Structures are given as C-alpha cells and as structure tokens.
Amino acid sequence: MPPPTFYWGETPEDEYYKSQNVRNSKSYHQTPNAKIFTQSWLPLNQPIKATVFMTHGYTQDSSWCFQEICIAYAKWGYAVFAADLIGHGRSDGLPGYIGNMDEAAANSLSYFIDVRRSEEYHTLPAFLLGESMGGLITMLMYFQSDPGTWSGLIFLSPAFVIPEAVSPSKLLLTTYGLLYGLADTWAVMPDFRMGVKVVRDIEKLKILIANPKRYAGKARVGSMREYVRGTDYVQKNFEKVKVPFFTAHGTLDGLACPSGSEMLYEKAETKREYKCLKLYEGMYHSLINGEPDEVVDLVFADMKGWIDSIIQVV
C-alpha cells in the first residue's frame, strides 16, 4: 500500500484545514544565511489570543505530523507560525546537516521576529515552542533574543540532556574532527533515533516514517557535534530563563532525558508559580505523534490549560 498523501490521509489540504477551522499559508523567508520554508496556521471565526512560534525536531519538518501540534493551537485560538530548520524539509541546506546550531536558530528566529514585531501581532503575547532537538534550538533562540521579546516558552520532550545509550561517540567525533572539517557533512554516525523508546504506537510510527521529506540517512558528523555542544551550553545557562515555561516529558523517553526538563525547572529563575513541569509516567519520546490517542489528549489538555491561563498574567 502506498503511503498517504498527507499524514491525515487523502483529504485535500484546503478541505482538511477548513474542517479544522484553520487557515494555512506557506511561504519562504530569506535570511542572511539561507532561504527557509515557513508556514502559518490561523484560527477561523474566533479572535486571536496570542502567537506561538514552533520548531520541529531533527530529521522532521513542519509539513507532516508535526503540524498536528500547530493545528491544535490554532484551533484553540492561537496564531501559529513554523519554519523548517536549515537542512530539513523545504528549507535550504544539505539534508540532515546542521553545521552550526546557533546559526540554525538565528535563521528561524529572523522569521519569527519579523512576524512577532509586525503591525498585526506586536501587541499580542508571544511564545516559542520546540519539540525534541527543536526544543534545544528553541532555547538557543530565547538566549539570542532581546529581553521582553517572548512571553513564555513551551517544550515537548526537549533534547537538553542526551541519554548515555544514544549519545554520539566522543571518539568518533574527535576522530572525524581531526580531518579539519572535511568530514563535517559525512553521514557516518550511528543511527540513534528508532528502537530506543521513541514511539509507542506502531501504527503512528508507520505514519511518521512515511513522511516524504523526512531525513532517513545516518546522522551527519557536524550535526552530532553541534547537538553535543548545544546541550552542554544550555545546561550551563538554564538560570538565564526568566519567563514562564511549560515543559513536558515521558519518563521512559529514550531519546532525550527527562532530567533535562527537571534541570530547567530547578535552575530557571522564572517565578515558581509560572513554571510547569509535566512528567508522563511510562511514556516515550514522541508525546503527540507517537503515543495512544488517550495520552495525546491528556498532553494536549495540559498544554492548552497552561497557555490559556498564562496569557492572563503575561
């Protein structure tokens, strides 16, 4: 059986979005470093409460299952914007290659800032949301932003701490590093993504894998070097977080340690009443796209409850 045209099936895009009371648009944004693909999901027939700027995880893009999160927030009354990371989806770059994570964050941030400061949205509360490695990159965006830019942060299984079982080999990274950058784009690092408690629902795993724009090759040397460097950096700078945040993690996440979310909760200088840590017992890495529907409903309810309440005080 051929894969579906869209993650939801064969219903044409316009028809599907209309059934969800959402309007979608697509465009490209030129940054100083690259041209990136961007999308928006806006609620129909209701006022916009706030803006949410979303970043997908490694190997993924904004056009497949990740947009289930985007659509949900739009249905709740939020204007949602997302960009494919450099080297992912329809953005420029070598597939699966993030040779400079700070630059990757800056590329998406340039688009987000343009929208955030636009006449239409500059008075609304604005949030950054990131999933998995997208959570790590989202944190870098926050650190790169001027104070007061963001009203809050939202993380789903953020990759702040790498589990030892899937941590990129320091020996390999050091060895390839001795080649003075020649090996940076090589897709030779072991594949750490599947089979390590990432997706619990097998049928949903099949849909994730069917993504025609998913990077399916081995991890590239430079991407893994930057992954390690990025996690080290954010762990040393969590105390710089001062805005409200929501972070969610499955306790059996095999791809990003729940201790990363716990560390953020303990070290951030955000007022205690504006911190929210949700740990889901027995759940894996992909809380929205990989768990049974009843778990997905629970996570979404927690996310909606938090943002609906926090916009009343920011």
Res 25 pLDDT > 90: yes
- The single residue of 29, 56, 249, 285 carrying the catalytic annotation is 285
| Average pLDDT of the chain, as a whole number | 95
Q: What is the pLDDT of residue 175?
A: 87
pTM of the model as a whole? 0.97
Domain extents in the chain: 13-310
- The single residue of 132, 151, 261, 286 carrying the catalytic annotation is 132
Q: What is the pLDDT of residue 225?
A: 94
Q: What is the pLDDT of residue 192?
A: 61
Res 195 pLDDT > 70: no
Kindly report the length of the chain: 314
Report residue 173's pLDDT band, with 50, 70 and 90 as the boundaries.
confident
Sign for the pseudo-dihedral over CA of 44, 47, 51, 57:
negative
Report residue 171's pLDDT band, with 50, 70 and 90 as the boundaries.
confident
Domain 13-310, CATH: 3.40.50.1820
Report residue 176's pLDDT band, with 50, 70 and 90 as the boundaries.
confident
**pLDDT (average), residues 235-254:** 98
Decide if 285 is catalytic: yes
Decide if 132 is catalytic: yes
**pLDDT (average), residues 6-30:** 97
Pull the structure tokens for residue 109.
Answer: 């941030």
134-151 residue pLDDT tens: 999 999 999 999 999 999
Burial 45-66 (b: 16+ CB within 10 A, else e): eeeebbbbbbbbbbbbbbbbbb
- The single residue of 201, 253, 261, 286 carrying the catalytic annotation is 253
277-309 residue pLDDT tens: 999 999 999 999 999 999 999 999 999 999 999
